[in-house]
Amino acid sequence: MLTLYHWEPNANSGKPIQALKEKGIEFESHWIDVFKHDHHQDWYLEINPMGVVPAMSHDGLNLYESTAIMEYVDDAFDGPPLKPADAEGRWRMRWWMKFVDQYYAPSVSMLAWSRRADNPPPPEEVEKVQQQIKDIPQKERQKSWEKSTFGKFRPGELEESDRRYRYGARLMEEHLAANEWLTGDMFTLADICAFNLCYFMPMNPNGYVNDEKTPYTMEWLRKIYERPATVASWNLGRMFTAERLTHLKRA
């Protein structure tokens, strides 16, 4: 039995969903309402003690960490391969996944979350929100939520995130100007990983990713947006996901 516990099919939740869809694997979809903190309930912590989405259960084995789940999916199931066959190609794939997961996307995410701090919870909700933050299992995520909710950013932190965003956008554009996909001429897990963490960047008001400045990145985003597996993945959304992709439709 294969069950995927996920939120909306974007960001980290979207990565294993799209990998499963690309390989044509049937699975039970268990939607997690992160706004109601379903992922912090005891039943879910038994599956993923880190208390984050997504997680996957396969024949009694519980797996978490979205990028690692994608690799498991490609290794464990039949279907079109999503990793290059050669060592260099796999190194490039993993380099891009690490770059996006740990450098590029977190910087853009911090800038987006900083705008959330412009609308802090009303005074009557503060105590409730503080308790919800304390219930988050990971201390580092508690700090992230507190920072974004109440605007507790260190001096220079947002400026550094903006610098990393600009650098990442330029690096990706230069690479895609010379390559069809992130690892070269093959669509891989790296493209799935990056798409789900970068699809919203053209919506960012800073304007570092758009048709004028990054045409190759925009074409790469649109090609992935048009893949049948992407369409099937985003059809699992229950909230705002479909609306967040409209900017990738071709004119």
Res 245: pLDDT: 79
Which residue in the block uniquely carries the two structure tokens 């978490």? 64
pTM of the predicted structure, to 2 decimals: 0.90
Mean pLDDT for back-to-back runs of 10 residues, the chain (251 residues): 94 97 98 90 94 96 98 98 97 97 87 67 73 74 66 76 92 98 97 94 84 97 96 89 79 79
Instruction: Evaluate whether the domain defined by 87-227 bears CATH number 3.20.20.140.
Output: no
Tokens of 141: 């995520």
Res 196: pLDDT: 94
d(CA 165, CA 169): 6
The number of residues in the chain equals: 251
d(CA 212, CA 216): 10
Res 113: pLDDT: 67
Res 86: pLDDT: 97
Give backbone dihedrals phi and psi of 244, rounded to 5 degrees, phi first.
Answer: -80, -5
Res 35: pLDDT: 83
